[in-house]
Structure 1
Amino acid sequence: MLRLWGQTQYSTLLELTRSMLNKYGISKVYGHRELYSTDCPGENFPLDRIRGEAARSGGKLIYPGYLIKMNPALEDNNVKDVQEKLMSRGYNVGRCGVDGFFGRGTLEAVESFQRDSGLAVDGIVGVNTWNKLFE
């Protein structure tokens, strides 16, 4: 497969895919032919490999590259990941649970996690909070 796709091409495509997934909170990768009647991306394209490697890096979620903060009006898949991780560590994210919305309950859970972890308590999931939460 990499005979047709050089390692540099593959690595660049993988990083671009990861960046788009993280930037826009996308959780799934689809090939064109899965959504429309087409042969794209073709049989030689490593779609399954891209799917498997794009969302995770060594089994670890990748920091999305933007600050995740309180906004109860906007659903975000990265907020779901944060909520799941907080709950798995024993923090209560509010009555709605893992819903992808960063409301008061998630804010309080993030602040408690930051306090317990010796981080700056600002209620914002930036790179330091993300890395500590997902280490």
Structure 2
Amino acid sequence: MSYKYITELTSPNRSKRRSKVRRIVIHHWDDPKRKPSLDGVLSWLTTTKSKVSAHYVVSGRKVYRLVPESMVAWHARGGSSDSIGIECDPRQQDETYETAAELIREIRGRHGDIPLVRHRDVKGSSTTCPGTYDLARLDRLARGGSAACPPPAPAPAAPSVPPFPLPRGHYYGPPSGPIQSVSGRGRNSRVPSDVIEVNGRWRSKGLATWQARMQARGWNIGESGADGRYGRDTARVVKRFQKNKGLKVDGKIGPATWRAAWALPVK
């Protein structure tokens, strides 16, 4: 044991355990921006007035045991009866991760390879606890992994943006527009290589490419899919996408809206 184990404090907020321990619920004391103190949380969890508790409180190299594992601590509404609750220092120091992981390893030695669960994921709970605590890191450390955080995954390479297919001043838009508005719904003498006839139906190859890209990003462009034809569904998506990306909302797929479909992040 590489931490100091403190058992002098006891919480009255506990009850008889009637269920097998099936999980470990991870908490933090509070939002670190509020600057909660260790003394404050220990006082709160050990007073009858609070009606809450935890089995353990972990901060740095110290573990405070407030409720024995043979009892139920009142730490997670709807999930206390079959779990062990650990309150972790919200500052998330490396020492706290390492100490909590060692404690988790010991708990699993007594109760089996039980999972770690965030407080907010317990059915019946309404909370953001334990904030940004990294349960994968805790689990890895508890299983003997590296104490260091794993290196961040490399950012995916930005997809190359295909060149805008239309001549200067042209755009993809409704058939009611001028000749510069390429709808794919009829022949367009300005762009004969882009608007083609397939099985007796006109379509724009470039517009179909943009529609397919939007579908790949999760946008619903209607039942017709990437058909290369500008209709109400495509107009709706264009305007919503332009608003989402801070572009001019005009329903026209010009060079800026075309490029944004590849270059700007999904959000």
- Pick the TM interval, shorter chain: 0.5 to 0.7
Task: Quote the offset at 1:59 in angstroms.
Answer: 4.5
Q: Does 1:85 align with 2:213?
A: yes
* Aligned residue type for 1:103: G
Q: Is the 8 A contact 2:208 2:228 kept in 1?
A: yes
2:173 to 69, 77, 82: 69
Task: Quote the offset at 1:70 in angstroms.
Answer: 2.0
1:125 to 226, 244, 253: 253
* Aligned residue type for 2:227: D
After TM superposition, the score normalised by the length of structure 1 is 0.53
Instruction: Name the counterpart of 2:243.
Output: 115
Instruction: Name the counterpart of 1:96.
Output: 224
Secondary structure of 2:235 counterpart: helix
The 3 A distance-change label for structure 1 pair 81 and 132 is: same
Instruction: Name the counterpart of 1:5.
Output: none
Bigger strand share: 2
Percent identity of equivalent pairs: 29
The 3 A distance-change label for structure 1 pair 131 and 59 is: closer
* Aligned residue type for 1:70: P
RMSD of the alignment, in Å?
Answer: 1.7
Runs of 4+ that moved beyond 3 A: none
Structure 2 unaligned regions, length at least 5: 1-158, 176-182, 187-202
Secondary structure of 1:124 counterpart: coil
The 3 A distance-change label for structure 1 pair 132 and 59 is: closer
Q: Which has the higher contact order (CA 8 A, sep 6+)?
A: 1
Distance 1:123 1:108 in 2: 8
Which entry has the higher C-alpha Rg, 1 or 2? Answer: 2
* Aligned residue type for 1:82: W
Distance 2:160 2:257 in 1: 18
Q: Is the 8 A contact 1:86 1:110 kept in 2?
A: no
Secondary structure of 1:134 counterpart: helix
Superposed CA offset, 1:1-51 (max 9, x none) = xxxxxxxxxxxxxxxxxxxxxxxxxxxxxxxxxxxxxxxxxxxxxxxxxxx
Aligned residues: 78
* Aligned residue type for 2:208: K
